[in-house]
Structure 1
Amino acid sequence: MVGVLIRMRLRVLRHGLRGSARAAPFLVGSVFGLVGGLFTAVVLAVGGPGGAAGESLAIGTDVAAALLAAWTLGWVVGPVLLSGSDETLQPEHFRLLPIGPRRLAGGLLVSAVVGVPPLVSLVAFAGLVVRGATLGVGPLVVALVVVPLQLALVLALSRVVVGALGAVLRSRRGRDLGVLLAAGTALLIVPAQYAVKAIAPILVERRSPGFVAVLRALPSGWAPVAVEAAARADWWRVVGAVGGLAALVAVLAWAWSALLVRRMTTPPSATGPTRAGRKGAAAGGGLWALVPATPVGAVAAKEVRTWWRDARRRSVLVPGLVLGLALPALPAVLEDDRGHLGVGVLAYAPLFVIFISTMNTGNLYGFDGTALWHTLVQPAAAGADVRGRQLAWLVYVAPVAVVAAFALPALSGQTGAYPWLLSLVPALLGGGSGVLAVMSVFAAYPVPVQRSNPFAAGGMPGCSKALLQVAISLLMLVVALPEVALVAAGSVVDSAALRWLATPVGVGVGLLSAWAFGRIAVRRLEERGPELLAAVRPR
């Protein structure tokens, strides 16, 4: 069965890379991943700095344990942060086949090795083999055993964590909690930078024996510990480390099989609106009465409700708003010696909000899937659909950005940021609403219906998403250029009038870019609607 599953994965991968539009980003991402894997492999192979043989061996093991802990953490946190676990072969596809859960779990786990992320990880872990070869025959043999076990560990641990979270987050409240969990996980990026700066001297100079002992005691550190023990001829420790890895992989495989049973036998929970919500929506009172009774207003109202009710959409909208405000605040909290710099960055949090929200939500039609055909079969519906989606996005992002633009400079004492913010915020809001519409029709990809696993990935490789974000960032930069030029020129010549002139210019640029980019999206939707429908069709 494993051979069949591997061939299925290869076939799906091959079909998913048809055409240069998908193959090129996939290859670029694969190259970057391999470069990172090779760098890790080189560090693992080199080990510690020169010195006494025993001290160098210990430092090399400490460095390897830290690197493998980082890779293991990446396998666990990555799917939560990116909402993209690899489910090329979904267990539900095998629900009606006479295959036991343990056999299916083992087959899916082994077939999961076929893919770019496992290959990159294997390249990185292979540095232990090179290090073992430099230490002798015994360490080489041990390294050849522990490297596959280390790869199996990260694969199984990632599946178990994502599967357990998926089981917890199936309800509506659970999915809302998952959105906050993803945002909180992303907030670890900035503290991680400080941790990396602090860990390097601790490992090389061995300043903290307790911290090093924890790294070695973690399951991610058992592989380098086994190689070091083999070099020291401590075979009992080798047996303990290798046996512990094998036993842990077996336990994780069993846990995943249990999660598969629960996943394949538990019906999906209802996620529709409550009766009170339906009555409130039907009544049309309150703010809904302000929505014009036009096609654009109808689409905007529908999209506003959908952004709030659909867990998949909330999972990309809410983290952008939270991270945009929180990430600039972290330097002010963490940089004790450069706190003034952190406070200065905090004033520009509205720009982070707009930028991150635009990048996260640049796949509007991917969430619709085949429901897009409702728009395509209606005469002259493309214009209203695009404009309504732009307005709905602004309903959520604009209030947060505008309030932050007025409040944060005053709270942080950076009142000099007002000319920048009051010109850039309207420009980027308009530009962001247009840019996400353009990217939604030119670079759409399918987003699967989350019936069982909230962290299931779509059909688009992760590297494609990265390139999509780069493209969006470049377009946003073009929108910001006129305002930046005016404020910068006013600062150079010390002209307050020139600096504040950028504010109406920013409003005008925002309106113009929203209209122009939206028009491009409308024409693309009208001319290439069937191709877009094929691109967002779930696979």
Structure 2
Amino acid sequence: MAVAVTMAAMKVAALRHSLRGTRAQLAGTGAALGAVLAGGTLYLAFGDLDLLAAAYAVWLLGWLLGPVFMGGGDETLRPEYFSLLGLKPRELATGLLFAAFVGLAPLVSIVALTGLVIAGVRLGPGNALVAVPAMLLQLAVFVLLSKVGVALVGLGLRSRLGAIGTGLVNGTILAGLGQIWVVFWALGQTGIPTAVAYLPSGWGLLAVRGVWWAIPALVALVLVLLGAWAALLTRRLGATRTSGSGRRPIRAASPGGAIVAKELRTWSRDLVRNYQLTFALAYGVGFAASPLLIGWNGMLPYAGPIFVVMAAGLAANMYGTDGTALWLTLMTPGARDVRGRQLAWLSVHAPIAIVLTVVCTAITGGPWPLILALLPALLGGAVGLVPLISVYGLVPGTDPHRRANNPLRTSEDDGGLTGQAYAALAAVAATAVPAALAAQWFGWAGPAIGVATGLLSWWGFGALAERRLHSHGPELLNEMRTGRKATGARSIQTRFDQLPTGRKAIAWWCFGFGAIPLFPQGVVAAVFVANGMTRQSWFLATYVSPGLRYPVAIGFAVLGVAMYAGGTWLVLPKRTKRQGSRPTPPTEAL
């Protein structure tokens, strides 16, 4: 117990000193969103308890999937820090479990689980007393399932088959959550299945409702998960890296050809990239196919474009993920690194996207002009913006040979990676807007516009990235080595940190919520209207009168663009007027 208390105190001290600047802003945003979700869960506790059980199932999914998508979860205290202390596996696991209860996510979750107490008070005094231990045990189940899930994913990522399988499973689950309205629609027709209440997420509620075996089952599950986590920690601490199987040496006739060959070899051997590729593929297919559950195949043709956008978001930290290997590029005269990486990225992703798009669109019979306009525009936007975002918004990453203990953690700055990924998703999707509008208004002129904008994005954004890499290559390498910006460098993140509190909050809202009016309420709603689909879920344009549908969708899209433009305007430095050519007096200079 002394070890557990000490680790919890260490976690408190670490958080107290680390929650500053960007981390504090992200924590504040997460706390606000968590408070909204917890409040909604508490509201359900005053109504139908079956809905409360379904809500806790969603919380469990969040605990399972959130750390996987955030680079391995919270590792403020890593098991490796204590490997030389001689602690027994179960003692180490118990101490890390106590430390895991310290943080924002457990605090928000315990607030949401207070719904068990509310439900207990409604049912009777005895039920309310049972609710307190049930609440604590349920939180322990959430935390331990998260830890075991992350450990299993990390273990799977040590083999190519495991990385592919993990990517497929996680991508499919996240796609299902992204299309949760399909589930709500189906549940609205059939009701919540009884089995939801008997999932581990609902055992605490079962205990409150008087089911005698629920509390012992929670205790047993906590002990089993604790033992499993202890075993996985032992496996992690004893893990050793093994070299890949022998391959033929890379041969190329030019520096650019060597870059393409190196990138293709990396895509075939790097397990993290294997995971990202299969994750994006599973997400695209799952997101587009989910509405088939309610008999609608209208989203199926968009599987390929969705795959491209998600793949771009995952690859947005292209240079940061490679770590300090950038020195090889800087020491190779004449190497056009960005162009080589662009060609390799297209070689890997374009065939998959084309086959997926053609097959899915052929199944539904169209809309061919729109789909053939979106695909080249998105491919060009992705292959141009991915290196550009990486060199301008680089997040220092962990060198690949140092990821063995936690392959999911490719960077120490999870918040920076998340923001970078969202920026890439929004920017790449925005490059397809002109082609989509042209296809809607002018039919087969859309594909030509899509090809033109795709080529322009590939060439223009790639040229900007190449110029940045050549002019700031040493600074980028220094940042990846040290994690700090070079002296005098003023990135967008630096300027953002220096904004006044009010402008910073407005910028956060613009960047954080601009995607909602731009894509769901704007672009997607316009697609629904074009296909004659009305009264679709929460897409406002599908509910208004026919003459207002397109104006409402376009208005939302303009609002989204305006929000992103406003946030950018707030972050960009303001130009100051020069005072003429009068030389500065020595006294003023001093």
Give matches, 1:373-522, under 5 Å.
373-376=327-330, 384-414=336-366, 417-448=367-398, 449-456=402-409, 458-461=411-414, 464-491=416-443, 499-500=444-445, 502-522=446-466
For 2:339, the aligned partner's letter is R
AA in 1 matched with 2:325: A
Residue pairs, 1:220-239, within 5 angstroms: 220-229=201-210, 237=211
Contact 2:317–2:395, Cα closer than 8 Å, also in 1: yes
SS in 2 for 1:99: coil
CA distance in 2: counterparts of 1:191 and 1:511, whole angstroms: 32
Relative distance call for 1:390 and 1:421 in structure 2 (3 A) is: same
Alignment partner, residue 88 of structure 1: 76
In the superposition, relative to structure 1, how do residues 33 and 390 fare at CA in structure 2: closer, same or farther (>3 Å)? farther
- Secondary structure at 2:62 match in 1: helix
**1:194–1:426: structure 2 CA closer, same or farther, 3 Å change rule?**
closer
Structure 1: how far apart are the matches of 2:409 and 2:268?
20
Change (3 A) 1:127 1:461: farther
Q: 1:10, 1:527 → 2: CA distance?
A: 42
Residue 393 of structure 1, CA deviation:
0.9
| Structure 2 residue 277 is the aligned partner of structure 1 residue 296 | no
Aligned-pair CA distance for 1:101: 1.4
Q: 1:220 is aligned with what amino acid?
A: S
What does residue range 46-445 of structure 1 map to in structure 2 within 5 Å? Answer: 46-48=46-48, 60=49, 62-80=50-68, 84-135=72-123, 137-189=125-177, 193-199=181-187, 211-212=193-194, 214-229=195-210, 237=211, 240-268=213-241, 270-272=242-244, 274-275=245-246, 278-279=247-248, 281-282=249-250, 284=251, 293-331=253-291, 333-336=292-295, 339=296, 342=297, 344-376=298-330, 384-414=336-366, 417-445=367-395
Distance 1:304 1:168, change over 3 A: closer
* Cα shift at 1:108: 0.5
Secondary structure at the residue paired with 2:73?
coil
TM superposition shift of 1:114: 1.9
Deviations 1:502-530 (A, max 9, x none): 44433332222122222332344345545
Q: Say what the alpha-carbon RMSD is for the aligned residues.
A: 3.1
Judged with a 3 Å threshold, the aligned counterparts in structure 2 of structure 1 residues 35 and 265 are, in CA distance, closer, same or farther, namely: same
Query: Letter of the aligned partner of 2:368 in structure 1?
Result: Y
SS of residue in 1 equivalent to 2:395: coil
Q: Once the 2 structures are TM-superposed, how far is the Cα of residue 433 of structure 1 from its aligned partner?
A: 0.9
Deviation at 1:97, TM superposition (A): 1.8
Larger RCO (CA under 8 A, 6+ residues apart): 1
Specify whether residues 180 and 447 from structure 1 end up closer, same or farther in structure 2 by C-alpha distance, changes over 3 A only.
farther
Shift of 1:33: 2.6
Query: SS of 1:347's equivalent?
Result: helix
Describe the SS at the equivalent of 1:2: helix
Change (3 A) 1:30 1:394: farther
SS at match of 1:430: helix
Runs of 4+ off more than 6 Å = none
Which is further off, 309-318 or 160-169?
Answer: 160-169
Structure 2 CA distance for partners of 1:47 and 1:459, relative to 1, 3 Å: farther
Contact 2:206–2:214 (Cα < 8 Å) also in 1? yes
Please report the TM-score for the alignment, with normalisation by the length of structure 2: 0.72
| 1:64–1:31 CA distance, 2 compared to 1 (3 A) | same
Structure 2 CA distance, aligned partners of 1:15 and 1:438?
Answer: 33
* Deviation for aligned residue 1:365: 1.8
**Deviation at residue 355 of structure 1 after TM alignment:** 1.3
Shift of residue 364, structure 1, vs aligned partner: 0.6
CA contact (8 A) 1:354 1:432 kept: yes
Report the secondary structure of 1:445's partner residue: coil
What are the superposed Cα offsets for residues 5-43 of structure 1, whole Å, 9 maximum, x if unpaired? 3344345546655544x5434432332233212211222
Q: Which amino acid aligns with 1:244?
A: A
**Offset from partner CA, 1:221-266 (integer Å, 9 cap, x none):** 222222233xxxxxxx56x433332232123212221222233234
Contact 1:85/1:457, CA 8 A, preserved across alignment: no
Distance 2:456 2:170 in 1: 34
CA distance in 1, matches of 2:434, 2:327: 39
Q: What is the TM-score normalised by the length of structure 1?
A: 0.78
Q: Which residue of 2 aligns with 1:6?
A: 8
Aligned to 1:232: none
Q: Which residue of 2 aligns with 1:28?
A: 29
Identity of aligned residues (%): 40
- AA partner of residue 118 (structure 1): P
Describe the SS at the equivalent of 2:322.
helix
Corresponding position of 1:51? none
C-alpha deviation, 1:153, in angstroms: 1.1
Given that 1:300 and 1:391 are in contact with CA atoms closer than 8 Å, whether structure 2 keeps it comes out as yes
Q: Relative to structure 2, which stretch is displaced further, 443-452 or 527-536?
A: 527-536
Contact 2:272 2:408 in 1 (8 A): no
Note the C-alpha offset of 1:487: 2.7
Paired letter, 2:111? V
User: 2: CA distance between counterparts of 1:68 and 1:29?
Assistant: 19
Question: For residues 518 and 16 of structure 1, what CA distance do their matches in structure 2 show?
Answer: 36
Q: Secondary structure of 2:299's match? A: helix
Q: Which amino acid aligns with 1:353?
A: F
Structure 1, unpaired ranges of 5+? 49-59, 205-210, 230-236, 285-290, 492-498
How many angstroms apart in 2 are the aligned matches of 1:412 and 1:172? Answer: 34
SS in 2 for 1:517: helix
Shift of 1:312: 0.7
8 A Cα contact 2:197 2:206, kept in partner: yes
Distance in 2 of aligned mates of 1:88 and 1:389: 34
Q: What secondary structure, in the 3-state scheme, does the structure 2 residue paired with 1:84 have? A: coil
Distance 1:35 1:420, change over 3 A: same
> Tell me, what secondary structure is at the counterpart of 1:154?
helix
SS at match of 2:42: helix
C-alpha spacing 1:110/1:527, structure 2 compared with 1 (3 Å): farther
Corresponding residue for 1:40? 41
Count of residues in correspondence between the two structures: 478
Displacement after TM superposition at 1:378 (Å): 5.5
Would the alpha carbon gap of residues 74 and 246 (structure 1) be closer, same or farther in structure 2, given more than 3 Å must change?
same
Structure ranking higher in helix proportion: 1
Q: Which moved more, 1:404-413 or 1:259-268?
A: 404-413
The residue aligned with 2:493 is none
